[in-house]
Chain A
Amino acid sequence: MMKKKETIRVENLSTGYHSKKGYNIITKHINASLFSGELTCLLGPNGAGKSTLLRTLTAFLPPVDGQIFISGKPLFNYSDAELAKVIGVVLTDKLMVTNMTVDELVGMGRSPYTGFWGHMSDNDHRIVTDAIDLVGISNLRGRMVQTLSDGERQKVMIAKALAQETPIIFLDEPTAFLDYPSKVEIMQLLQKLSREQAKTVFLSTHDLELALQIADRIWLIDKSHGVTIGTPEDLSLSGDMSMYFHREGVTFDAESGMFKICHKLGKSVRLTGSNAPYHMVKKALARQGIDVNNDSHNPISIEASEDGYTINGLKVKSIDELINIVTDTIDS
């Protein structure tokens, strides 16, 4: 693997919007770096300032305070044309284009390099083909963009960013509106690009668990705590994850690095058994607010194993049936 290199450095950055009353500051005093070959995820609740931060880093918005350096050079020293060759973006903006093929759209990524008339050279065509192959959408090349699914369109825009040949790619919620397999696919693709192409990939997302599994580095952001940065594992152990995402009924399980919904458990049953059936029954009981307590002289005793389920010696066919009997018995 290539040695990672600092591509973006942020010093004492404050982001926000300029309004009539002065500055409306959203996030203050961020000090951080982004590295090539790494996938960094920006996580935070709605309204925490994710988009503002992303827009500031892509030079769509001027910073309220502080400095952003790209490859050591201040961001405001880049012209629009220079920046187009350094940062590629994939946005949530709805694409209004119709009657444009995937090939043409990815080809738009070459426009910072083409001349006055926008004519594409053989080399430009080759780069477009490479980008399309890399994202794995060569079967879509001739399709019109309005006929694509959300996931396919997201891949096309990623291919556009690749054709732009920028060392840095920013993505604003690339997994929003996608079904779960597509979310995973997009995240894996981005991880692959960061590794194989040594790109600096930075994206905002709401898909917490996916980000925790795939991201090399996480930026946590919210209104009260500001920005905290680290690997998913460090943030889990330090308790920052629980702090940022603390909600009624949700706990962060540091052991698995996953969020768990905690059900309010009141009543309990005895449960014995083994392996997957045991865990599945336990999970189904938890959803009903029923805990497992084997010490008690509980009137209900359940056995769950690969051979089947029994409740107080009575054999039942499915967990569905089991739960019905348990809830009936407990309530009466």
Chain B
Amino acid sequence: MSILGLSIIVFFILNLLLGSISIPMMDIFGILTGQHCDNEIWRNIVLKSRVPQSLTATVAGAGLAVSGLLMQTVFRNPLAGPSVLGISSGASLGVAFVVLLSGSIGGMALSKLGVIGEVTITLSAIAGSLLIMALIAFVARKVRGNVTLLIMGVMIGYIANAIIGVLKFFSAEEDIRAYVIWGLGSFSRVSGGQTSVFIILMLFLLPTTFFLIKTLNILLLGDSYARNLGLDIKRARLLVISCSGILVAIVTAYCGPIVFLGLAVPHICRGIFHSSNHSITLPASMLGGASLALLCNLIARMPGFEGALPVNSVTALVGAPVVMWVLFNKRKSEV
């Protein structure tokens, strides 16, 4: 656990140090500690780009990983995760509705509205993701088998994308551009005051998931055993699903859809700690998610790529093999 914590610090510092423009280490520490720095451009890069980006990656990674863990427990499905089950698509759909339609119906581009626009985007992402989450929860009760649920999630994702495609057709060009950029997924899109709003929101939400530890552990045994142990199943499911949905929604609203991170991290943590106990896996996923997000962000920004590599390509490269590994391991039993 402490190694995970340490890795966050190391990756965080590396995120500050490395980038397409090289800034001497001493100057970076100087800027961070508030000392005077002659180079105004360096100052801006560090304070307005690298620091917010690193902080965003940290909490976003933690949020996605925790959300993935909650989904895997509540659906009792090792392949559950924000992007795989189409929850991110739901959030995208919500965002697409307001971003793309605000221009043609509301008469003004939301991308120019500032704070109000940001709040609207967040709320629509939450609405979209909870809608899909409710749908998946409904489907999960009807169908047995992990692969079926997985395919349903992928199909829901296609449908959401199809609707987004139709919406794009009716939208103003600048709205489409704003949406496409959002859809690429990035920890750097959040800037200035929005970063602090995002981080404060997440710092409030992430610790609340600790209240769910006992509930999550009981849910591991399956609905019938959980009920027999005195758990109010409907309430517990609702709580866990909404917590998970809101986390994904907020991260997606601010960073765009980030794939595979939420699915992969809980598996890596269970693998490292050989435990399913949430008093271990929950904090471990939080730390692991933050660490992996920082690492992916670092790779995406490696000198040479010049920031051209989307963070999603990196997370997919890390996450997709984990999905394959899970499928290989589970093929004998339930998948």
* Residues of chain A whose beta carbon lies under 8 Å from any beta carbon of chain B: 58, 60, 80-85, 87-89, 91, 93-100, 104-105, 108-109, 111-112, 114, 116-118, 144, 164
Query: Which one of B12-20, B199-207, B222-230 is at the interface?
Result: B222-230
Task: Kindly identify which residue among B214, B224, B229, B334 contacts A164, using a CB–CB cutoff of 8 Å.
Answer: B229
Structural contact, B228 and A84, CB atoms closer than 8 A: yes
In the A-B complex, the 6 residue pairs with the smallest Cβ-Cβ separation, listed nearest first, are A84-B230, A118-B214, A81-B230, A99-B276, A112-B230, A89-B228
Structural contact, B214 and A111, CB atoms closer than 8 A: yes
Chain A residue numbers with a CB within 8 Å of B274 are 99, 144
Decide yes or no whether B189 CB sits under 8 A from chain A: no
Structural contact, B213 and A87, CB atoms closer than 8 A: no
Tell me the count of chain B residues lying within 8 A, CB to CB, of chain A: 24
CB distance from B134 to the nearest CB of A (A): 22
CA separation between A83 and B226, bound complex, in Å?
A: 12
Decide yes or no whether B231 CB sits under 8 A from chain A: yes
Decide yes or no whether B277 CB sits under 8 A from chain A: yes
B64-106: which have CB < 8 Å to A? 76
Structural contact, B217 and A95, CB atoms closer than 8 A: no
B207-266: which have CB < 8 Å to A? 211, 213-214, 217-218, 220-222, 224-225, 227-232
CB distance from A220 to the nearest CB of B (A): 25
Chain A residue numbers with a CB within 8 Å of B231 are 80, 111
CB distance from B143 to the nearest CB of A (A): 15
CB distance from A61 to the nearest CB of B (A): 11
Given contacts A104-B277, A111-B214, A117-B213, contact A96 B222 (CB under 8 A): yes
Chain A residue numbers with a CB within 8 Å of B218 are 108, 111
Decide yes or no whether B196 CB sits under 8 A from chain A: no
CB distance from A45 to the nearest CB of B (A): 23
Given contacts A80-B231, A114-B214, contact A97 B221 (CB under 8 A): yes
Structural contact, A80 and B277, CB atoms closer than 8 A: no
Give the interface SS of chain A, mostly helix, strand, loop or mixed. loop
Decide yes or no whether B275 CB sits under 8 A from chain A: yes
Structural contact, B276 and A98, CB atoms closer than 8 A: yes
Chain A residue numbers with a CB within 8 Å of B229 are 84, 108-109, 111-112, 164
Structural contact, B224 and A99, CB atoms closer than 8 A: no
Task: Kindly identify which residue among A80, A99, A105, A108 contacts B227, using a CB–CB cutoff of 8 Å.
Answer: A80
Structural contact, B228 and A58, CB atoms closer than 8 A: yes
6 contacts between A and B (CB under 8 A): A93-B225, A94-B222, A100-B277, A111-B218, A111-B230, A116-B211
Structural contact, B222 and A100, CB atoms closer than 8 A: no
Residue of A nearest to B231 (CB): A80
Task: Kindly identify which residue among B76, B211, B232 contacts A96, using a CB–CB cutoff of 8 Å.
Answer: B76
Residue of A nearest to B217 (CB): A118
Structural contact, B230 and A83, CB atoms closer than 8 A: yes
Chain A residue numbers with a CB within 8 Å of B227 are 60, 80
Structural contact, A108 and B228, CB atoms closer than 8 A: no
Task: Kindly identify which residue among A82, A99, A112, A117 contacts B275, using a CB–CB cutoff of 8 Å.
Answer: A99
CB distance from A190 to the nearest CB of B (A): 17
Structural contact, A95 and B221, CB atoms closer than 8 A: yes
Extra contacts besides A108-B221, A111-B230 (12): CB < 8 Å: A58-B228, A88-B228, A91-B225, A94-B334, A96-B222, A99-B275, A100-B275, A104-B277, A109-B229, A111-B231, A112-B230, A118-B214
